[in-house]
Each structure stands twice: as C-alpha cells, then as structure tokens.
Structure 1
Amino acid sequence: MTDDLGHGIGGRMRENGSVTESQRAPAEFGKRLIKCLVVDNYDSFTYNLVQFLGELGAELSVVRNDQATVDALLDTAPDRVVVSPGPCTPDDAGVSLEAMRRFPEAGIPTLGVCLGHQSLAQAFGGKVVRHVPVHGKTSPITHDGRGVYLGLPQDLTVGRYHSLVVAEDELPDCFEVAARGGDVIMGIRHRELPVEGVQFHPESVLTEHGMAMLAAFLAA
C-alpha cells in the first residue's frame, strides 16, 4: 500500500470569506471555550487546521500520534477531537485508529481529515486502498448538507492531497456516505456515533468554505 505523501504542496493559509461574524465568535461549550484536541500525524497541514480552529475560538491542545495513549488523552476530557492528515497509512499512524473509535464511543464529537478519515473507516472494519495520487489538485464535491456541510452549496471545490481512499464496496453498514467527488468517497459519517471524516483538506487554500466546515464541526 502506498503512503499518502506530498502534503507539503499547497499547505498555505487563506482568509476564507464564507464564515459569518457569529461563526468567528469564540466557540463556547456552556460558559467556557470548547476544548479541542488535535492528534498530529506529523503532517505539514496540522498547524493550518490548528490556526483555523484557533481563529474560530477553540481552546487547543496538539499531541503527536506517538506521544500519548488514548487513555491519557481521554483523561484530558476534550469537547472535540480532530485527527489530522499525515504522510502514512492508518496502520502506521500511532494512536489514530484507536482514537477514531474510542473518542466517538465516549460521546466526544470527532473529525478525521484525510488520514484521519481513512483511519475512521478502517477502525470500524472498512478498507483503505491505493488510488491514483492526487496531490495539490481540486475537485467538486456533492454532499448531504449535514454535519460539516450544513448550509453549504453543492459542487463546492475542495483540495485533495492523497494516494489512498476508502473502498466503497467494503464500507461498513455503520457509515453513510456524506460526500462524493466523482467515484471517490469524499466524506463519511457514522450512523450512530458523533464522528465523521473528510478525504479532502478543509484547511487547504484550495478548499472553498473550509472555515465554515470547521465552524460547523465545533458547533455540532
């Protein structure tokens, strides 16, 4: 299986004009800021995600995938968890596979981005397979208008940086396909647990409405 490489391409920040002033207000959980844990899979895009989430007002902690156990991370009691992109397979991504299962099972809303998305599928019995490398390219996607896509237009453009995909013919029944780009699953969502994954990069300069997607995740 080929590792997902090339994430340094296009890893630039932009000011996404699709977010309202209310979405830019601090993300709150009750009377305090939302605590958001980011599992870093040693990827250049991780801090793009961190910057976006910080601009949305989240209180952030970033832990690399081999520097803590999931039990220890659960003890920190995050309100939200994001598992980042990375230049490897789910099997080589430290605690990512376990994190994508156990945080949602604990009732903590979780988002997997690229490698995190692939880890989500595999953690629940899905299969990740090789695909023609797509690095620094854009694609239009269609979506179900729920979750991170709430209120967003169809056929929006997203940035892609991957050589692995989730195999649709082996997608577990516990998932619904939330977004597609051609013949590739671009988003999945668990039918019962608070977790979804996106194959594309909402934090990329190439993605439309990326900030709004992350705002919707924090607000869920």
Structure 2
Amino acid sequence: MRVFLLDNYDSFTYNLVHQLAHVGADVTVVRNDEITVDEVQALSPDAIVISPGPSRPEGAGISVELIRELGPSVPTLGVCLGHQAIGVAYGASVVRVPPVHGKAWPIHHAQGGSFAALPSPFDAARYHSLAIERASLPPELEVTAWSDDGQVMGVRHRSHPVEGVQFHPESILTDDGATLLASWLSSITPSAREQGSDTGRRSGGRSRPS
C-alpha cells in the first residue's frame, strides 16, 4: 500500500515511517511546506498520514488543507499534531491542556476500527500540551479513544475515511503500536472499505454515539 506521509518537522517522524514500513506500507515522505495539495493528489496515494510536530495545526503547512481537500476520498490518519489538524479541519477547537511529555498513559477506547485488536485500556506514549476540546467536536467526528484525565485520544469521521490519535503509536512506550497501524492499514483496503460501506447502508449509517 502506497502511503504519503506529511512530515510536520517532528524529530520522530522516521520512527513512524519505519513502523509503517514494518507493517507493510510503502511510504513517501515530504515536509509540510515543500508540496501542495494538488501535488499530493497527483501522487495518487492509497492513504495519507499526517505526522506529529511542534506547532499548532494552523501553522503546520498544508496539514489542515490536505485533510479538508482529500479526506473525503483518501484514507487519512493523523498522529498527535495530525490528529489535532483533523479536529481543526472539521471545525473543532484545539486548546491548551496540562502538558504530558514522554509518559506512558492508559488509553481507553471503543474497541472498533483500528482499535479492534487492542485491549482497553492499553499504555501509549503521550507528548503534548494541546488537545482537541471535546465540547467543540462537530457531530461528524466521534470520539474513539480517551484518557482517564478526560482528554480526547482518538477521533474518527462518521462518513469520511479519516481518523486520528493523540498518542504516539510509533513510540517504544506504546504497547501494540504496530498492531494499531497494521489494523488501520487493513481497515482501509478497498475490500474492507466496501464491506464497511455495506454495513453502514444495512444499519442506516448509524454509529456509536460519542
């Protein structure tokens, strides 16, 4: 699977690249100010990953624009800053929270999608002082994971193939990070997406309330 990874100048970007390659992705990496959305689209990636980084989503190059323009059609995963960019792209607010840097933290989740093969809770690395404000989430984004200090740790769009995680699956501090990435890749194959669409049609498109 051809994955385009937008690098938001994070020092651990290549840990994420290596983890994705380990679970079967062919990854192309370009920094967030060295490519346009049209150029990404011309690459015809099977999926997009928006990397972590040191800035706010609004200052992360084409991150937000890329999600808005290609998210409806190209499966997209946001990690940390990339997760926050998903929130901003769909109208949520990103706010300051008590910083958590380099700590393993229990992550609770709804056990579907990319989390299906993971226990709840599992430990994952958190490196952030910003988070999506839960109260500002639009109806189209559902919470898929959360921490016991009340922060949103995962979101998924209800109709677009877009999801994000606030924690770092590529970190050595994260249990089963490779399993999560492998599950995400499996869930976005054409056959899996078609099966999901059929299930949504049979159920009237309803999903778990956040």
TM-score of the aligned structures, taking structure 2 as reference length: 0.87
2:145 match: 179
What secondary structure, in the 3-state scheme, does the structure 2 residue paired with 1:86 have?
Answer: coil
Q: 1:69 aligns with which of 36, 50, 57?
A: 36
2:69 corresponds to 1:93: no
What secondary structure, in the 3-state scheme, does the structure 2 residue paired with 1:151 have?
Answer: coil
Quick check: 1:85–1:116 contact (8 Å CA) kept in 2?
Answer: yes
Q: 1 CA distance for matches of 2:15 and 2:168?
A: 10
1:160 match: 126
Q: CA deviation at 1:102?
A: 1.9
2:16 corresponds to 1:49: yes
Q: 2 CA distance for matches of 1:151 and 1:217?
A: 10
Q: 2:49 aligns with which of 82, 89, 93?
A: 82
Quick check: 2:87–2:132 contact (8 Å CA) kept in 1?
Answer: yes
Q: 1:111 aligns with which of 71, 77, 84?
A: 77
What secondary structure, in the 3-state scheme, does the structure 1 residue paired with 2:92 have?
Answer: coil
2:157 corresponds to 1:190: yes
**What residue identity is the alignment partner of 2:11?**
S
Asked which structure has the greater RCO (Cα within 8 Å, sep 6+), the reply is 1
1:129 match: 95
Q: 1 CA distance for matches of 2:132 and 2:71?
A: 19
Q: CA deviation at 1:103?
A: 2.0
TM-score of the aligned structures, taking structure 1 as reference length: 0.83
What secondary structure, in the 3-state scheme, does the structure 1 residue paired with 2:174 have?
Answer: coil
Quick check: 1:100–1:116 contact (8 Å CA) kept in 2?
Answer: no
The sequence identity of aligned pairs, in percent, is 50
Extract structure 1 runs of 4+ deviating beyond 4 A.
Answer: none
Q: 1 CA distance for matches of 2:7 and 2:113?
A: 22
2:109 match: 143
What secondary structure, in the 3-state scheme, does the structure 1 residue paired with 2:160 have?
Answer: coil
Q: CA deviation at 1:164?
A: 0.1
What is the Cα-based RMSD across aligned positions, in Å?
0.8
Number of equivalent positions:
186
**What residue identity is the alignment partner of 1:71?**
D
What secondary structure, in the 3-state scheme, does the structure 2 residue paired with 1:202 have?
Answer: coil
Q: 2 CA distance for matches of 1:102 and 1:195?
A: 12
2:132 corresponds to 1:170: no
Q: 1 CA distance for matches of 2:66 and 2:116?
A: 25
Q: Which runs of 5+ in 2 are unaligned?
A: 188-210
What secondary structure, in the 3-state scheme, does the structure 1 residue paired with 2:71 have?
Answer: helix
What secondary structure, in the 3-state scheme, does the structure 2 residue paired with 1:87 have?
Answer: coil
Q: In the TM superposition, what are the counterparts of 1:22-61 in structure 2 within 5 Å?
A: 34-61=1-28
**What residue identity is the alignment partner of 1:85?**
P
